[in-house]
């Protein structure tokens, strides 16, 4: 018996990556039932399980080699099939097991590889978006640093202006105090000068008609002589 490719393709078209393991197990069970005569005496569940793990090993190894190495590597599927057949003591099962492994591996690898390629593309898109956001963050960081520097410069300038304002305010207060002292000194001098020149404070009271009311001082010079012709 051979595994029909139409069955593989029909099953392959109806499954997704999330159900890949169930698909592999179902295909192995379907194939295993077809050679019960060759596998007489072997529990179906046991042979299904062994072939299932063999398919997983081949599929995973193929994907790992294909995605991590540029060297073309031929998976030794015939040797693996022969090993499984010897495990059960049925060497005649080797060709059929090989066909099962190939069918399952091709289907599984195509699914996983497709998902891997899509995921890789999405990763590239996300990485590109991350790079754009990183550059935007760097630009914003530079702008923020520039604004912070400008703010510090304005703050320093404000401190200088405030210091100058305080100095000028103190100087104005000092000048106002000094001006008040000068005005007070001038006023005192004027008062003293007025008091010193007041007639009451002099000894020439005889020059006035009324010392108590010194308005018309008495002239000590001769009176002028007027001639009438």
Q: What is the pTM of this model?
A: 0.35
CB 137 within 8 A of CB 90: no
- Check residue 98 and give its pLDDT: 79
CB 58 within 8 A of CB 79: no
Q: Where are the domains of the chain?
A: 5-115
- Check residue 97 and give its pLDDT: 76
**Position of tokens 């210091």?**
163
- Check residue 220 and give its pLDDT: 54
- Check residue 76 and give its pLDDT: 75
- Consecutive 10-residue runs of the chain (229 residues): their mean pLDDT? 40 46 62 57 68 71 64 68 79 77 66 68 87 93 93 92 92 91 87 71 50 51 49
CA distances from 110 to 12, 21, 69, 106, 114 (A): 9, 14, 18, 6, 6
- For residues 133 and 22, what is the distance between their CA atoms, to the nearest angstrom? 41
- Check residue 16 and give its pLDDT: 47
- Check residue 214 and give its pLDDT: 52
């Amino acid at each position: 018996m051979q595994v029909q490719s139409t069955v593989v393709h029909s099953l392959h078209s109806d499954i997704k990556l999330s159900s890949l393991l169930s698909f592999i197990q179902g295909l192995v069970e379907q194939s295993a039932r077809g050679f019960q005569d060759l596998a007489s005496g072997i529990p179906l569940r046991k042979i299904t399980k062994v072939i299932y793990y063999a398919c997983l090993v081949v599929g995973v190894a193929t994907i790992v080699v294909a995605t991590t190495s540029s060297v073309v590597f031929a998976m030794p599927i015939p040797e693996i099939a022969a090993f499984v057949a010897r495990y059960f003591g049925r060497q005649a099962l080797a060709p059929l097991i090989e066909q099962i492994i190939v069918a399952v591996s091709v289907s599984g690898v195509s699914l996983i590889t497709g998902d891997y390629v899509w995921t890789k593309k999405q990763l590239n898109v996300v990485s590109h978006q991350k790079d754009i956001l990183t550059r935007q963050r760097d630009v914003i960081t530079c702008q923020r640093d520039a604004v912070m520097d400008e703010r510090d410069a304005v703050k320093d300038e404000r401190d200088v202006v405030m210091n100058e304002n305080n100095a000028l305010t103190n100087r104005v207060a000092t000048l106002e105090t000094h001006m008040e002292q000068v005005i007070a000194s001038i006023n005192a001098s004027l008062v003293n000068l007025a008091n010193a020149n007041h007639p009451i404070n002099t000894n020439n009271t005889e020059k006035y008609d009324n010392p108590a009311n010194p308005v018309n001082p008495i002239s000590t010079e001769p009176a002028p002589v007027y001639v009438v012709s």
